[in-house]
Amino acid sequence: MEPELVRSRRTGDCCYKYRHPSGLSVYLHPKERGSATQVIFGARYGSVDNCFQRSDESEPQTVPEGIAHYLEHKLFESEEGDAFARFASVGANANAYTGYDSTCYVFSCTDRLYESLEILLDFVQSPYFTQETVAKERGIIAQEIKMYDDLPSWRVFSNYLRAMYHRHPVREDAAGTAESIEKITPELLYRCYHTFYNLNNMALVVAGRFDPQRVMEVCGRMLKPCPPVMVRRVFPEEPETVVRAFVEEKLSVSMPVFQFGYKDQRGPLRSEQELAAVNVVLEVMASDASPLFRRLLDAGLANDSSFSYQLFEGPGFATAMFGGESRDPEAAVAMIREEAARLARQGIERADFERAKRSLYGDCIAALNSPASIANWLIDSAFRGQDMFAYIDALAELRLEQAVKQCALFREDRSVLSVINPC
């Protein structure tokens, strides 16, 4: 089995890409310096995947909200015990997360890498669900849902998505609701597991200090062949409009929290060039070196510890967002709207464009020094059909007119403001 060698002509970094006979895509990014290694074993399966159609079936199926997150919880339990305890026994630090479009199982270590990798590949491929264990987990997840409902940062974001999207499942909480998780059964968990945890729908990433040949030897022993069943995500048609432009809620906070942004219907996923262009526009507009940020600080409408901006996107959804704490969210958003309108009308100054490009390029180079950053970047790129080295090239080669074109996403009639005010 010969790998495809993917090399960055700008940085000299390289990644070995394997298509294992089991169907799994394996990405190996060795680093000679350093002692830590980061490993991610992930499935292209997230909270938005509540309706899907297998390639060997004629009709799509709808399942309860929150099942991807529930499945992540349950996989750590098996007849052999708790996977966290197994990782602790070899000195590895393990975790997992369910996003909107993927579920990932992660560990980092400085020693006993290959034993840790065996544990990871073993428990993720060994589902064990019973009526008793599934019922026990229901109470734990219900408490987690309640905990998030009490977090202002989560509530302002959740309300924002519900105000922006009419039908797309990104508007629903990733963990589901108290009502939806009551419908989750062992049979449904096995059904979703065997659909989405098919190795043809998964990827393994290893970044840091390791021997690629030994990693592939472990894969050869541990990976279980899967039938080549593919899965198609099924989403309802989403209107271009937003549900409502403003949503407000009161919680126990000392200062108001806001989330503001623009719905972008040009997706669902961008090329590396388009992604680089949008990120440059947001950097020009709202970074801590931008005139907008300085005006917000001078007016006392933002603080440098909480103000943030990002492009949040996935299958069938995309939005450019700004948020943080503010004593007057509506005044802060008025400044953001004004700057967005100015950029859409006048374009971007070349000096600002070059500054933003250099800043983002520097962030990329810094990320290549961190095994954790590399691993997360590789898994995200794999699941989105992108290439992290191609993104670096696209960013370096981006032209001003390509960035200016992306200012069209700032449409006032597709904007939403979500606010959490003090009780």
DSSP string, 171-188: GS-TT--HHHHTT--HHH
β partners of residue 108 = 38, 93
Confidence of residue 267 (pLDDT cuts 50, 70, 90): low
Tell whether the model's pLDDT for residue 158 goes beyond 90: yes
Share of the chain above pLDDT 90, in %: 89
> What's the average model confidence in pLDDT over 367-384?
96
- Give one word for 40, left, alpha or beta, with left for phi > 0 and alpha for psi -120 to 50: beta
Name the phi and psi angles at 101, rounded to 5: -130, 5
Residue 159, pLDDT score: 98
Query: pLDDT by residue (tens digit) across 13-28?
Result: 999 999 999 999 999 9
Torsion of CA 314, 317, 318, 324, to 10 degrees: -90
3-state secondary structure of 194: helix
CATH numeric code, 246-422: 3.30.830.10
Residues 78-134: tens digit of each pLDDT: 777 789 999 999 999 999 999 999 999 999 999 999 999 999 999 999 999 999 989
Whole-number Å distance between alpha carbons of 151 and 48: 22
Distances (CA, A) of 67 to 79, 191, 192, 301, 367: 21, 11, 8, 39, 32
User: How far apart, in whole angstroms, are the C-alpha atoms of residue 124 and residue 75?
Assistant: 6
Active site residue: 72, 238, 283, 313, which one? 72
Residue 263's Cβ-count burial label (10 Å; 0-12, 13-18, 19+) is: buried
To the question of domain 4-233 being in CATH 3.30.930.10, the answer is no
% pLDDT > 70, the chain: 99
The Cα 109–Cα 101 span in angstroms is: 26
Res 266: pLDDT: 64
> Is the N-terminal amide bond of 186 cis, ω within 30° of 0?
no
Stretch 236-260: mean pLDDT: 96
**Helix, strand, coil percent content, the chain, rounded in steps of 5:** 45, 20, 35
More confident residue, 33 or 175: 175
Domain ranges in the chain with CATH number 3.30.830.10: 4-233, 246-422
Render 306-373 in DSSP notation, one character per residue. Answer: T-EEEEEEETTEEEEEEEEE-S-HHHHHHHHHHHHHHHHHH---HHHHHHHHHHHHHHHHHHTT-HHH
- What's the mean pLDDT in 54-69? 96
Which amino acid appears at position 92 of this protein? A
Q: Is the pLDDT of residue 245 over 70?
A: yes
- How many whole angstroms separate alpha carbon 290 and alpha carbon 303? 14
The mean predicted confidence, pLDDT, of the chain is: 94
Residues 90 and 74: beta-carbon distance below 8 Å: no
CB atoms within 10 A of CB 382: 23
Question: Contact 260/412 with Cβ under 8 angstroms?
Answer: no
Confidence of residue 268 (pLDDT cuts 50, 70, 90): low
Q: Active site includes 72?
A: yes
Using the structure block, give the residue that is written with the tokens 């602790």.
88
